[in-house]
Structure 1
Amino acid sequence: MLTDLPNVLTLSRIAAIPLLVALVAVRAPWSDAAACLLFVAAGITDWLDGRIARSRHQFSELGRMLDPIADKLLVGASLMVLAGFGRLPLWSLYPAIVILLREILVSGLREHLAGRRVSLPVTRLAKWKTGFQMGALGVLLAGDTTAHLLHLDWLPVGLIGALMLWLAALLTLVTGWDYLVTGLRHVNEPSAGAAPARGNGAASP
């Protein structure tokens, strides 16, 4: 199953994390641009592995397990390295904390409900949240240094990324509350029948 292309693409997102952190740590315009491109490429693999899995019917338990883990590791590592190197302008450390806490909350809910054979469906709003979140991280990884490298000094890249992260955090609060209410609704219910699990490439809830 490790050799299935969707799983290889998922594993590549995890493998890209140390390189992403190293590029940000260099703190040079070229490395910031490379970190942004690497993050974008990782995001594309997230979409691509799901598309391939569906077209080839290559769904597996390994893929279902690894896909959300890879997404959360990539997001968490990006937020932490940006915070560690002071790359979160406009007090955007606070939305970063909100996003990380929400990821932990939803992961905990999913783990509990999985034991009761209940799934949390991915909502349309959660997909919007994921889009703004990934877009914000890509822009913040690029930073103002990349704008300078491209002779776009007039473009406030860091500010744009921070505003996008605040919007992602707002959506995070709304969707997190929805998932919490849904999860609590099932706590005292008898275990349901097996629910279909999410395959590779679906948007992170």
Structure 2
Amino acid sequence: MNAAEDRIWTVPNLLSALRLLGVPVFLWLVLGPHADGWAIALLALAGFSDWLDGKLARAWNQISRLGRLIDPLADRLYILATLVGLVLRDVVPWWLALAVPLRDVLMLWIPPLLRRHGYGPALPVHFLGKAGTAALMYAFPLLFLASHAGWYAEIAAIFGWAFAIWGTGLYWWAGVLYVVQVRQLTKG
């Protein structure tokens, strides 16, 4: 690893850290005061900052080991918090709330196996995983909007469910590809 990879104080890491801090705020907005407008705005901002931190990390050469850990952690926590909040508010069904995090639970064996074979704690993020996560980040605010009365509800529901189903499928497909990649790396 070079010194640049060991940096902590970078703009992309700051964006990821702010996204992490937004997780409990989002849950409070959804479950406490039911401040849905603010919750949707925070969710949209989190999705945008997820895209922006990756873009800035590459453009400004600020890719770091910490960033490779906290960025996907923030994504997973936002997805989990959003699913919990939306299930408890009866916006999405339980099957969706279980299907998405189940993939991550089933893959918990990968980091210890990679370490045992001399690889880092995680594999590079696959494009399908990024696409699945992005689709889910689009799906959740749209499904939340669909749960409210308004001219936009039906359109939001159509696009929200399309993104949710495609996002979940891509998320699982990326998981299968990670398993295949790990098996190829650890065969010998």
TM-score, normalised via structure 2 length: 0.80
Q: Which of the numbers 128, 136, 146 marks the counterpart of 2:131?
A: 128
Q: Structure 1 residues 73 and 23, CA, compared in 2 at 3 Å: closer, same or farther?
A: same
Deviation at 1:24, TM superposition (A): 1.0
Specify the alignment match of 1:4 in structure 2.
10
Q: Structure 1 residues 114 and 138, CA, compared in 2 at 3 Å: closer, same or farther?
A: farther
Specify the alignment match of 1:24 in structure 2.
30
In terms of mean alpha carbon deviation, does 34-43 or 47-56 score higher?
Answer: 47-56
| 1:144 pairs with 2:150 | no
Specify the alignment match of 2:69 in structure 1.
65
Q: Aligned with 2:154: secondary structure?
A: coil
Deviation at 1:132, TM superposition (A): 1.6
Q: In structure 2, what is the Cα distance between the partners aligned to 1:138 and 1:166?
A: 14
Q: Which has the higher contact order (CA 8 A, sep 6+)?
A: 1
CA RMSD of aligned residues (A): 2.5
How many equivalent pairs are there? 180
| 1:176 pairs with 2:175 | yes
Q: Structure 1 residues 98 and 163, CA, compared in 2 at 3 Å: closer, same or farther?
A: same
Q: Structure 1 residues 2 and 117, CA, compared in 2 at 3 Å: closer, same or farther?
A: closer
Contact 1:4 1:58 (8 Å CA) reproduced: yes
Q: In structure 2, what is the Cα distance between the partners aligned to 1:154 and 1:49?
A: 30
Pairing of 1:91-130 with structure 2 (within 5 A)? 92-106=93-107, 108-115=109-116, 116-117=118-119, 120-130=123-133
Specify the alignment match of 2:3 in structure 1.
none
Structure 2 residue runs of 5 or longer lacking an equivalent are 1-6
Specify the alignment match of 1:83 in structure 2.
87
Contact 1:139 1:158 (8 Å CA) reproduced: yes
Contact 2:146 2:152 (8 Å CA) reproduced: no
Give the share of equivalent positions with the same residue, in percent: 28
Structure 1 residue runs of 5 or longer lacking an equivalent are 190-205
TM-score, normalised via structure 1 length: 0.74
Specify the alignment match of 2:4 in structure 1.
none
Contact 2:147 2:153 (8 Å CA) reproduced: no
Deviation at 1:142, TM superposition (A): 2.7
Contact 1:144 1:156 (8 Å CA) reproduced: no
Deviation at 1:27, TM superposition (A): 6.4
Q: In structure 2, what is the Cα distance between the partners aligned to 1:186 and 1:135?
A: 33
Q: Structure 1 residues 174 and 23, CA, compared in 2 at 3 Å: closer, same or farther?
A: same
Matching residue's letter, 1:83? V
